[in-house]
Amino acid sequence: MNISWYGHSCFQCQFNINGENVSFVVDPYNPNIGLKMPSLNADFALVTHQHEDHNYVEALKLTGEKTVIDSPGEYEIKNVFVQGLASFHDDNQGKDRGQNVIYKIKGEGITLAHLGDLGCDLNSEQLEALENVDILMIPVGGNYSLDAKKAAHLIKQLDPKIVIPMHYKIPGLDMDIEDLQPFAKEMGLGEYVVETSLKISASQLVNENVIVKILKPLA
């Protein structure tokens, strides 16, 4: 599969299912946050919550019938399996910033999870639902979601193969959140390589320790 990051919490992922490419986009953002949201082609879109920096599906060109998933539940699109898990945007039961949907996606023998703007600890049921996640996309910038320390703690709980940090300060982003450095320090990264995208197969997910992949924003 291929994963590209367009800044903030927006990813485009592509599976190859039985010889057919199936792509989806998670959390496209309104350009008024300071980043240029490109027009992307996809089979379907996932929206974690209805804030403008996560729900700008107008930017997407969705093939066939417009398919946008924006709520908890179980879905299947072109042999890609999606499970939406209810969670909160804050640590006050959603009273401050509302609801958030965590998405667990399975395809091509790989399981990935996008945590959206998760702002609280996960309960035992949520942790159990996210067991055996291979690739974890997790917010690390704090203020509106998990900060570096809480993100690192959750990573230890879930123990994924690969972690991709998101929702942190990058050039152009008009938002009061931390940059990547506190998270890099928490994870003991030291110097790290920034990659344009992540291309990986299930057979390559054999590492015993968590690997952090830093992606270059393509916006």
CB 40 within 8 A of CB 205: no
What's the pLDDT score for residue 80? 95
Q: Return d(Cα 20, Cα 172) in angstroms, integer.
A: 36
Count other C-beta atoms under 10 Å from residue 109's C-beta: 12
Tokens of 183: 């998270």
CB 1 within 8 A of CB 13: yes
What's the pLDDT score for residue 22? 95
Q: At residue 98, does pLDDT exceed 80?
A: no
What's the pLDDT score for residue 93? 72
What's the pLDDT score for residue 95? 63
Q: At residue 65, does pLDDT exceed 90?
A: no
User: Which pTM value belongs to this model?
Assistant: 0.94
What's the pLDDT score for residue 70? 95
The full DSSP string for 54-71 is T--GGGEEE-SS--EE-S
Domain range enclosing 141: 2-215
Q: Return d(Cα 128, Cα 197) in angstroms, integer.
A: 29
- The CATH number for 36's domain is 3.60.15.10
DSSP letter, residue 216: P
* pLDDT tens readout for residues 199-213: 999 999 999 899 999
Domain count, the chain: 1
